[in-house]
Amino acid sequence: QQPVQSPQAVILREGEDAVINCSSSKALYSVHWYRQKHGEAPVFLMILLKGGEQKGHDKISASFNEKKQQSSLYLTASQLSYSGTYFCGTERTSYDKVIFGPGTSLSVIP
Partner 1 sequence: GAVVSQHPSRVICKSGTSVKIECRSLDFQATTMFWYRQFPKQSLMLMATSNEGSKATYEQGVEKDKFLINHASLTLSTLTVTSAHPEDSSFYICSAPGDRDGEAFFGQGTRLTVV
**How far apart are alpha carbons 56 and 66 in whole angstroms?**
17
Strands 84-91 and 18-23, bridge-based pairing: unpaired
Residue 4 interacts with partner 1 (CB under 8 A): yes or no: no
Query: Scanning residues 26 to 85, which ones bind partner 1 (CB under 8 A)?
Result: 32, 39-42, 44, 47, 49
Total residues at the site for partner 1 (CB under 8 A)? Answer: 21
Shorter beta-carbon distance to partner 1: residue 81 or 95: 95
Interface residue with partner 1, options 18, 23, 84, 103 (CB under 8 A): 103
Q: What are phi and psi of 12, to 5 degrees?
A: -125, 155
Strand, coil or helix: what is 95? coil
Residue numbers at the binding site for partner 1 (CB under 8 A): 2, 32, 39-42, 44, 47, 49, 87, 89, 94-103
